[in-house]
A and B are shown apart, each in its own frame.
Chain A
Amino acid sequence: MTEDGDSKPGREEREDAASVRESKVIRSVASGLSNAVKGVRAGANVAGEKASRTTDAAITNVSFLIIILGIIQYIIRIYGGGFSAYTLIISLVLFILSGYALAERMEKDRVTILIPMLLFVVWYFVFQGSSDPQFLLYFVLIAAVVIFIPALFTKGASILPEAVGFLPALFLFLDLGLLPFLVDKLGLPLTPAYSGLILYMPWWAFFGLLTLPAEASKSGKVNMLINLIKLAGILYIVTIIIAPVIPNFGLQSGILPSPAQLEEVQAKLREQLPQTENPFISNIMCINELTNIAECVKTRQEESGFKYTCTKLNGLEEGTPAYEQCLKEEREKKKNLASQVKGDVDTTIQIPTKAELTLDKNSFPQEYNPLIAYTADFKVENPRNQRMSVTFSCNFTGKSGVPNVEGKIQSPNSDELTQTINFNDRNFQSTLLCLPMAELKGAYTIYFTALMQGLDTKSRLQRAFIGTKTSEQKEKLRNTEINKAITIPVSVAPAEFARINFELGYAKNEYIIENNPNRNIVLRANIENTGRGNVVAVRGYSFQVDKIPLEAAGFVVDNPACIRGVMLSLSGYTGYSGIARTIPLPPCLITDMPQELKEMSEDNWERKEFIADLQYDYQLTSKEDFILPAVR
């Protein structure tokens, strides 16, 4: 067989050898497991081996050059003050050399390796790595066409070299600092160990190592050492990839939230949603109502809301007369206009005022002893340091004919049955001790109550006053400015015990108010009990704008009770259950408003924030059933 390879068999042999070398590139570069290639190569003929040896020698030289230059560049970067023009030039030279080294390994269509490299250079240096989506769309499309054309003419043979051509681009990107850039952009909390792994990697030297042939030297020991270093390099990259999931090693805290965190968020979201039937189920159940699915879904949602109120909030059993009465009352309330006003949770207030009254049944005495008390824990989060007064009481309600027994909250300086504590602490906790005032014998329900007085919850909403404008001017302002600036079109309040939901304007959800005497500006509101307790009294409600009362600000209403009032008795709103869920406030018409809100230039408008202030008393109750045997 001749060395010049003119004969047909010679060409075939070289093609065989070439295809073997191509497969070697993938294995060598991607995995470093070149021994497998060696096994395949054993089948090649003598001429092929000779040609291969020549190419291997060239590749070995280039690879060593890359390793040496890579190490020099790394040293300059680490000890020479970081990134500089010198390191950039060396990086570019290494980029070209690596393309050459890879091209040498490709017998066929080696030029096509340059295509992805050039595409990268054009994108990164000419277009400054633009990440504009529209630009990227065009660029990727053009790049795809440029890559596809050679593949078309070579019947797909150029795809492999083209794919390999992305490797130098990737390594150049890594060398320029892709990983630290991503870490910085994504704000990942890295441990010092992991930061070190990412920042101090001689990428080009490693690339040169990977491109070395399996038998870079005639010495078996040297080859073994090279292959071991390759393996170590691959392990290094694997470490970088998997380190973030190793606890206490990669990231200081996980990128993904834990299942508990997810559940917490879900629960928080669920609490904020109306407690109604799952809309998906409602839709399924309404499938047979083909003519009016929307109405059917709405009705089911409403009914399920009523059901939730009666069963979960009022503690009634389905099917009982009380439950039916409760449903009826809820439906009636729905018809009341003021009751229809909805509000939302103010998400900017992440720490609302909260209180909790919990009983520990395990600590209850197992038999009656006049000196052993029943305990409960009261806890308040009071982020606004409101001054409040809490009166605690307890009693034992007998079951199945057992007589009721009064309870006394133990306090050091008082003989009264109740205990009152005043505080304005940010966090307040107290353990309550309740002693029965007579002997307990039989089944009881113990009730602990905490009546909190002096609570204050404010809600707010924004409106845009535009003066006198044409319909076109109004819509233009709405679309270009007001809808961006008005962020609270529906009243919001912190997720506390109760709040005022209110609307102000021409219609529901209309946040623009113009100077038009022919249109009614209506203020309507209700007090919604959003907690698990009871609103006992409304000590005052009022509306403000610019932090001054509405009337003082120049707003005139036809019914003053609409904007200011007191409701010390709420018995009319509690129904049979004793719990007031929605308390409608008197609606009114705003008959006049400040002059400066009526007259504005064509392009001017003004934003106003209205505040509804609710001062109220709220009672929390906690209960537990227990049975005590008679004293022996």
Chain B
Amino acid sequence: MNSSSSLLSPSSSSFILRLLFISSILLVLVLLLVGCGSGGGDTLASYNFKQGSNGLQVKLVDNAPPSKIYPQSSFKMILELDNQAAYDVSDGMVKIVGLDNNYFKVAPLEQSFDTLAGRSLTSPSGDRVYLEFDGLSAGLFENAQEYSGVYFIKTSFHSTLDFVDTVCINPNLYAVYDAGCKVKEKNSYSGQGTSLAVTQMEEIMYPGAGAGVEFRITLRNNGGSNSQVGFVNLMSATLGSEDIPCEFQGEINNKRSKQFKDQQEAILVCKKPLRQQSSYQTSLALHFTYDYSQKLESRLLLVNPERRAGVFG
């Protein structure tokens, strides 16, 4: 038998079929692996928008401004503000800082924007707005080939944050026969649907005659180093149906308000004496308002048109 006929022998054919079968199984496995990442079975109705740390997304629209600007030409800067948080943002303001008038004149340098609704069942993608800034380039310095100017787009706004969780209140810590709930000393959270988030809550029980419960709540800015939280105000705090007194750690005058300044984190302490001795589950709800600012760094490039034509080699 020659080599070509051996290729087509019955044993070879069955071998190839077996091989193709194994290959197909492996291929299916590979495709399953590839497909693993693109899941998502939640329906819109059951989707909890108040999770994660998405905030107001600020970006410049592609080609506005263009990547290269020629001297004595006009251009547009278009800013997209997309509210991906689960809360409305209001009193919004955008400022452009750091541009050099010698090279670029942009007007206006400040613009306010209307309230942007957050993501919700009625508006699953959140509100989005575009702001336009008109720019005019001047000439380059002498016969420079280019000028690259870094500038910053600063956005500030006002927003809110809600935090709700079910907690176990059990002042009778030593009652081994109490079949009620169990206190969880520490809980961590990924976020409540915006950049400012309650990331951790510690629950401390004080048993005995003067029983009480203390919650130490960590508020953190998850928006990254280019963002800053201003004033945070605790508007309401309830444990079950009753108010719970809370104060920000380190505050002296208005203890329900905290100026974050350059800090990324603050701790709120809520304490309440307990009348009931048996264990029970209830909800802890906090409502905050806060000021927030974030910064986008960008660059305008002014180029010599002769460079494009190859005069400079």
Residues of A within 8 A of B143 (CB): 349, 351, 383-384, 494
Is B122 an interface residue when CB atoms closer than 8 A count as contact? no
The distance from the CB of B112 to the nearest CB of chain A, in whole angstroms, is 14
Whether A125 contacts B34 in the complex (CB less than 8 A), given A96-B26, A217-B3, comes out as yes
A605–B109 Cα gap in the complex (Å)? Answer: 13
A58–B11 Cα gap in the complex (Å)? Answer: 10
Is A126 an interface residue when CB atoms closer than 8 A count as contact? yes
Q: Point out the residue from B33, B97, B293 that lies within 8 Å of A122, measured CB to CB.
A: B33
CB distance A609 to B102 under 8 Å? yes
Chain B, 142-182, CB within 8 A of any chain A CB: 142-152, 154
Chain B, 255-313, CB within 8 A of any chain A CB: 262, 293, 295, 297, 312
**0/1 interface trace, chain B 92-134, chain A, CB 8 Å (1 if under):** 0001011111100000000000000000000000000000000
Is B16 an interface residue when CB atoms closer than 8 A count as contact? yes
A384–B26 Cα gap in the complex (Å)? Answer: 68
The distance from the CB of B85 to the nearest CB of chain A, in whole angstroms, is 22
The distance from the CB of A351 to the nearest CB of chain B, in whole angstroms, is 6
Of chain B, the residue at the smallest CB distance from A545 is B102
CB distance A476 to B145 under 8 Å? no
Residues of B within 8 A of A460 (CB): 141
Residues of B within 8 A of A608 (CB): 100
The distance from the CB of A409 to the nearest CB of chain B, in whole angstroms, is 30
Whether A487 contacts B148 in the complex (CB less than 8 A), given A57-B6, A603-B293, comes out as yes
Is B22 an interface residue when CB atoms closer than 8 A count as contact? yes
Whether A547 contacts B102 in the complex (CB less than 8 A), given A125-B33, A350-B145, comes out as yes
Q: Point out the residue from A57, A65, A494 that lies within 8 Å of B142, measured CB to CB.
A: A494
Of chain B, the residue at the smallest CB distance from A218 is B3
Chain B, 6-26, CB within 8 A of any chain A CB: 6-7, 12, 15-16, 19, 22-23, 26
Q: Point out the residue from A62, A350, A458, A476 that lies within 8 Å of B19, measured CB to CB.
A: A62
Residues of A within 8 A of B101 (CB): 546
CB distance A126 to B98 under 8 Å? no
Whether A348 contacts B7 in the complex (CB less than 8 A), given A62-B19, A100-B22, A219-B2, comes out as no
Is B45 an interface residue when CB atoms closer than 8 A count as contact? no
**0/1 interface trace, chain B 233-264, chain A, CB 8 Å (1 if under):** 00000000000000000000000000000100
CB distance A605 to B141 under 8 Å? no
Whether A472 contacts B98 in the complex (CB less than 8 A), given A350-B312, A485-B151, comes out as no
Whether A349 contacts B145 in the complex (CB less than 8 A), given A61-B7, A604-B97, comes out as yes
CB distance B16 to A61 under 8 Å? yes
Is B37 an interface residue when CB atoms closer than 8 A count as contact? yes
Of chain A, the residue at the smallest CB distance from B98 is A485
**0/1 interface trace, chain B 22-60, chain A, CB 8 Å (1 if under):** 110011001001101100000000000000000000000
The distance from the CB of A109 to the nearest CB of chain B, in whole angstroms, is 19
Chain B, 176-200, CB within 8 A of any chain A CB: none
A150–B192 Cα gap in the complex (Å)? Answer: 45
State which size class the interface on A falls in. 35 or more
CB distance A97 to B15 under 8 Å? no
For B, the interface residue count at a CB cutoff of 8 angstroms equals 43
CB distance A607 to B30 under 8 Å? no
Residues of A within 8 A of B30 (CB): 92, 121, 125
Whether A458 contacts B141 in the complex (CB less than 8 A), given A97-B23, A481-B152, comes out as yes
Whether A348 contacts B146 in the complex (CB less than 8 A), given A121-B30, A222-B3, A546-B101, comes out as yes
Q: Point out the residue from A64, A96, A350 that lies within 8 Å of B7, measured CB to CB.
A: A64
A142–B141 Cα gap in the complex (Å)? Answer: 53
Q: Point out the residue from A61, A384, A546 that lies within 8 Å of B15, measured CB to CB.
A: A61
CB distance B27 to A607 under 8 Å? no
Residues of A within 8 A of B150 (CB): 484-485, 487
The distance from the CB of A31 to the nearest CB of chain B, in whole angstroms, is 23
**0/1 interface trace, chain A 469-493, chain B, CB 8 Å (1 if under):** 0001000100011001101000000
A588–B99 Cα gap in the complex (Å)? Answer: 28
**0/1 interface trace, chain A 90-112, chain B, CB 8 Å (1 if under):** 00110011001000000000000
Is A462 an interface residue when CB atoms closer than 8 A count as contact? yes
CB distance A126 to B37 under 8 Å? yes
Is A592 an interface residue when CB atoms closer than 8 A count as contact? no
Is A113 an interface residue when CB atoms closer than 8 A count as contact? no
Of chain A, the residue at the smallest CB distance from B4 is A217
Is A89 an interface residue when CB atoms closer than 8 A count as contact? yes
Q: Point out the residue from A57, A96, A126, A216 that lies within 8 Å of B27, measured CB to CB.
A: A96
CB distance B152 to A97 under 8 Å? no
A391–B203 Cα gap in the complex (Å)? Answer: 90
CB distance A348 to B37 under 8 Å? no
Whether A348 contacts B147 in the complex (CB less than 8 A), given A126-B36, A126-B37, A547-B102, comes out as yes
A472–B262 Cα gap in the complex (Å)? Answer: 10
Whether A384 contacts B34 in the complex (CB less than 8 A), given A89-B27, A476-B262, A484-B297, comes out as no
A485–B154 Cα gap in the complex (Å)? Answer: 15
The distance from the CB of B303 to the nearest CB of chain A, in whole angstroms, is 10
CB distance A603 to B142 under 8 Å? no
The distance from the CB of A482 to the nearest CB of chain B, in whole angstroms, is 8
Whether A65 contacts B16 in the complex (CB less than 8 A), given A384-B142, A460-B141, comes out as yes
A222–B142 Cα gap in the complex (Å)? Answer: 73
Chain B, 37-94, CB within 8 A of any chain A CB: 37
CB distance B100 to A607 under 8 Å? yes
Is A277 an interface residue when CB atoms closer than 8 A count as contact? no
Residues of B within 8 A of A222 (CB): 3
Chain A, 31-62, CB within 8 A of any chain B CB: 57-58, 60-62
A484–B30 Cα gap in the complex (Å)? Answer: 46
A104–B152 Cα gap in the complex (Å)? Answer: 61
CB distance A607 to B98 under 8 Å? yes
Is A22 an interface residue when CB atoms closer than 8 A count as contact? no
Which of B22, B102, B154 neighbours the largest number of chain A CB atoms within 10 Å of its CB? Answer: B102
The distance from the CB of A34 to the nearest CB of chain B, in whole angstroms, is 16
Is A599 an interface residue when CB atoms closer than 8 A count as contact? no
| 30 pairs of residues in contact across A and B, judged by CB atoms under 8 Å | A61-B7, A61-B15, A62-B19, A65-B19, A96-B22, A122-B33, A125-B30, A125-B33, A126-B33, A217-B2, A217-B4, A219-B2, A348-B144, A349-B141, A349-B144, A350-B312, A351-B143, A384-B143, A458-B141, A462-B100, A480-B295, A484-B150, A485-B98, A494-B143, A604-B95, A605-B98, A607-B98, A607-B99, A609-B102, A611-B141
Question: Which 8 residue pairs of A and B lie closest in terms of their CB atoms, listed nearest first?
Answer: A217-B3, A348-B144, A485-B150, A125-B34, A485-B98, A96-B23, A383-B143, A96-B26
Known: A348-B146, A484-B150. 13 other contacts (CB 8 A): A60-B6, A60-B7, A61-B7, A65-B16, A93-B23, A97-B19, A121-B30, A217-B3, A218-B3, A481-B295, A546-B101, A603-B293, A607-B99
